[in-house]
Amino acid sequence: MKPNKTYFNWSSGKDSALALYHLLNDNQFSVEKLITTINAHYNRVSMHGLRKDLLIAQTNAINIPASLIELPEMPSMEVYEQKMNETVSRLKLESFTHSAFGDIFLEDLRNYREDQLAKQGFKAVFPIWKRDTKELINEFLDLGFKTVIVCANSKYFDEDFVGTIIDKHFIDNLPKDVDPCGENGEFHTFCFDGPIFKHPIDFTIGKKVYREYEHPNTDNSVCDSDKYGVWYCDLLPK
């Protein structure tokens, strides 16, 4: 039976890496493209703040073609959906039929993704869905993956937290109200080595900055006020 031609919605972080690992080991699917949204104003990965150069180095090391979707700094839902629909339409013409994600347990987000994709006849795939997040992060490390914190919600963490490489000690010392995988948006990572890579990605720790954002009215998972703060760690390619 011919495998389903699949594109992966690649965030550059640990959950994406582990989900992709499982998908690559499933003969039902043939992953032939990595799709990532880019903040065109800063030329960085949306939400994560990762430099585009490091993203390209990462996808090259994984050896799956990358396709970047450029978005304005603060895109409306209309703009976001327009860009995504254009991308999915193009991929449909290239005979793609499935779209994969590294989501774990955000039901509303999964329903949204499935509904949007179904409009164009695509099926959504969630390789690590509903897995226990403590088990997932331990599996991630046991497989030999390596990842560094690139941004974190200031409600839970300070400047010293970003730039940290995740290890077992890190997991055991997380605050009790923080998900081990940061699934509620507490932190995001850059995965720089592991079994899906031909070679590790070299980088150095750059400047750490703090930014504040308007809190989305539809999401109360990580902040109780109108604004929320994020610490970013700039990673510099070697």
- pLDDT for 83-123, tens place per residue? 999 999 999 999 999 999 999 999 999 999 999 999 999 99
Residue that terminates a domain, selected from 86, 109, 125: 125
Same-domain status, 84 and 41: yes
How many angstroms separate the CA atoms of 98 and 211, rounded?
Answer: 36
Same-domain status, 89 and 155: no
**Which pLDDT score, from 0 to 100, does residue 218 have?**
39
Please give the residue range of the domain that contains residue 44.
Answer: 4-125
How many angstroms separate the CA atoms of 235 and 168, rounded?
Answer: 22
**Which pLDDT score, from 0 to 100, does residue 226 have?**
61
- Residues 194-212 have pLDDT tens digits of 999 999 999 999 999 999 9
Residue that terminates a domain, selected from 125, 156, 184: 125
User: Coil, strand or helix: which one is 235?
Assistant: strand
Same-domain status, 72 and 106: yes
Residue that terminates a domain, selected from 93, 125, 157: 125
User: Coil, strand or helix: which one is 74?
Assistant: coil
Residue with token string 């994560």: 48
In the sheet that holds 203-214, the strands lie side by side as: 187-193, 146-153, 227-237, 203-214
**Which pLDDT score, from 0 to 100, does residue 221 have?**
40
Residues with Cβ within 8 Å of 73's Cβ and at least 6 positions away in sequence, in order, are 39, 40, 41, 42
Same-domain status, 61 and 25: yes
Same-domain status, 79 and 142: no
What stretches in the chain show pLDDT beneath 70?
215-226
Same-domain status, 107 and 210: no
Same-domain status, 55 and 153: no
Alpha helices in the chain (DSSP H): 14-24, 52-62, 77-93, 107-118, 133-142, 168-172
Same-domain status, 229 and 188: yes
Tell me, what CATH number does 116's domain have?
Answer: 3.40.50.620
Same-domain status, 137 and 221: yes
**Which pLDDT score, from 0 to 100, does residue 216 have?**
53
Same-domain status, 22 and 95: yes
| pTM, rounded to two decimals | 0.93
Q: Which amino acid is at 166?
A: I
Same-domain status, 111 and 163: no
Same-domain status, 155 and 84: no
Number of domains in the chain: 2
